[in-house]
Structure 1
Amino acid sequence: MGPLWQEQHQGRLAAWPRRRAVGAGAKHRFVFVDRLLAALVNLRHGTTHDVLACWFGVDRSTITRAIGEVRPLLAQRGCTVARGMRLRTLAEVIEHLGVSEQTGIIDGTEVRVRRPAAGRKDRDKFVSGKTKQNAVKSMVLTDGEGRVLFCSPVRPGNCADITQARQLGLAKLLAEGPFMEILADAGNQEMGAQTGGRVLTPPHRTFKKDAPAWYEEMHERQRKAHSSRRIRVEHGIAHLKNWRALARHLGRREHMSDIVQAVAGLLSHQQTAIHHGSRPA
């Protein structure tokens, strides 16, 4: 990431007319490695910028600017599925699962955020219908073992899971790609018909009331069998929420997409290293 940051930094310096040549003047006291460490500590433990500034002996504004530069670079790395192989888009994830004949699991997760200021337009769109709290929502896709493969950019909390999946083009990618199975919850039942049975959801109830005992037993058995296969995505989401930045976000909502995707990339790197039997970097 060092060369990417250096290239980005040089591009900013050369983006406007200058009296001095690029590279002249005072040099950075806060080197890139320290900037990266500050961003990682902020994501993992939610340490405030004031505390990080004391640790590194710089001004708070320097920490804020450094994290703002490093965080998008972390988000652009994508999710690691093997050494030297990263997936950055949903299309790449679907192709990888189809070629490797693996089953994917999708689910939505919410991160609580600050309430928008009074009088702001569309203030209520961040209120989640599920938790009745101000939140943003991201779609998480894992493999059958619960390893995170993709986290989507966030949407306001009132966005339904199936709406977010449609906006990401999941139905089209599944219909045009190799045959594979995606496990989903009951909120995505319409996706099954749209994708030719590629999206598997819990079974519908044939009897709304006064169901026979044999039907109740069969339906409960099928529902539990589906849930036991889907539980892996809940484990993946739980590992994401272990990062303090995703437990509850008190900063600007505009940064949440980069934060979610940066954490997903870092977590997937750790999971891949553990899966291959080596110590995570």
Structure 2
Amino acid sequence: MVGNEARSLIVSNGRITGLSPGVIGELVADVGPLWHERHRVKLASRARKRAVGAGAKYKLVFVDRLLATLVHLRHGTTHDVLACWFSVDRSTITRAIGEVRPLLAERGCTIAPGLRLRTLTDVLEYLGASGRTAILDATEIRVRRPAAGQPDRDRFVSGKSKQNAVKVMVLTDTEGRLLFCGEPRPGSCPDITQARASGLVGLLGTGPWVEILADAGYQGLGAQTGNQILTPPHRKFRKNPPTWYEEKHARERHIHSSRRIRVEHGIAHLKNWRCLARHHGRREQLPDSISAVAALLSHQQSINRAWSQAA
């Protein structure tokens, strides 16, 4: 277990966890009781010969478990390195990350104190009530190639990057703040298919009217959603277009691209967390990692925004 001096260094240095001390303090206050309660229920649910609380005690307290998880998500640090750092066995780190990461993933994207968006329905209701515009895009995360002989092995090969990857749908606002990260799908899945499979089209048809900016990969969704999803303008002249039309078309595409560039900034902030730049673990752990990073990043963004408004 790390000493108080090393623990203070991890908390105070934002380059290690990517979070400010205030955000880490809120995580300890919010997630700590949940972890302790789940641990108590787990102990009480199985047959025992000794009372709950008897026997050997955990070497790794909850604060250290949380810090180990944050360092792993931020820098992709291996469990072996973290085990040496925290002076515990590798299996202890693996178990700690496996317990804390789902709790972080359940928090959802923090927009303001007391306001968190956990589902796509929550996001659209927030956008409809606030009148804000959202920006839609997809990003790819490289993963390990499935073992030989497994079915659908080639489904993870991305047609864009020609590498094994999964694709994640991302929604941000016009300031680049994260609103939602969807379930990862194999890299061969087209952007528009992923949006339809997420239920976005159906929710836009039944919920409040919102404006969502998207790139050319989502062309066709505008007609299905009553022009709630805006994509770059189509090219009407395929051959020998007039000069005036070329200039008009280029100008309209530039305006649209300028409006939706902030989603690229939001995705870049996501990829600053090394576990999402390239995932080396099991693919079934990736959804929790994506949701956890989105929750942590959005929480820090909301704090930074509050500080800038106060200043």
- TM tier, smaller: over 0.9
CA distance in 2, matches of 1:210, 1:237: 37
| C-alpha deviation, 1:103, in angstroms | 0.1
Query: How far is the alpha carbon of 1:96 from its aligned partner?
Result: 0.4
Tell me the distance in 1 between the aligned counterparts of 2:181 and 2:53: 37
Q: Paired residue for 1:135, among 137, 153, 165?
A: 165
Is 1:213–2:232 an aligned residue pair?
A: no
Deviations 1:105-138 (A, max 9, x none): 0100000011111111111111111100000111
The one-letter amino acid of 1:226's match is H
Q: Which of 16, 24, 44 in structure 2 is aligned with 1:14?
A: 44
Q: Which of the residues 197, 200, 212 maps onto 1:170?
A: 200
Q: Structure 1 regions of 5+ residues with no counterpart? A: none
Are 1:66 and 2:96 an aligned pair? yes
% same residue? 70
1:244 matched to 2:274: yes
Alignment partners' CA distance in 1, 2:116 and 2:291: 13
Match of 1:95 among 99, 122, 125: 125
Runs of 4 or more, structure 1, over 6 Å off, are none
Is 1:266 paired with 2:266?
Answer: no
Give the residue type in structure 1 aligned to 2:269: H
Match runs of 1:1-281 below 5 Å: 1-277=31-307
Q: Secondary structure at the match of 1:276?
A: helix
Deviation at 1:278, TM superposition (A): 6.3
C-alpha deviation, 1:15, in angstroms: 2.7
Residue 21 of structure 1: CA displacement?
Answer: 2.2
Task: Check conservation: 1:105, 1:230, Cα contact below 8 A.
Answer: yes
Secondary structure of 2:261 counterpart? helix
What number of residue pairs does the alignment pair up?
A: 279
So what's the TM-score if we normalise by structure 2? 0.88
The AA in structure 2 aligned to 1:247 is: A
Structure 2's unaligned 5+ residue stretches are 1-30
After TM superposition, give the deviation of residue 159 of structure 1 in Å: 1.1
Q: In 2, distance between residues paired with 1:277 and 1:15? A: 44
- Looking at structure 2, the residues matched to 156 and 19 of structure 1 have their Cα atoms a distance apart, in angstroms, of 46
Displacement of 1:172: 1.4
Q: TM-score, normalised by structure 1?
A: 0.97
Q: Structure 1: how far apart are the matches of 2:252 and 2:306?
A: 34
CA deviation vs aligned residue, 1:152-200 (integer Å, no higher than 9, x gap) = 1211111111111111111111121111100011111111011100000
Q: Counterparts of 2:101 and 2:192 in 1: how far apart (Å)? A: 28
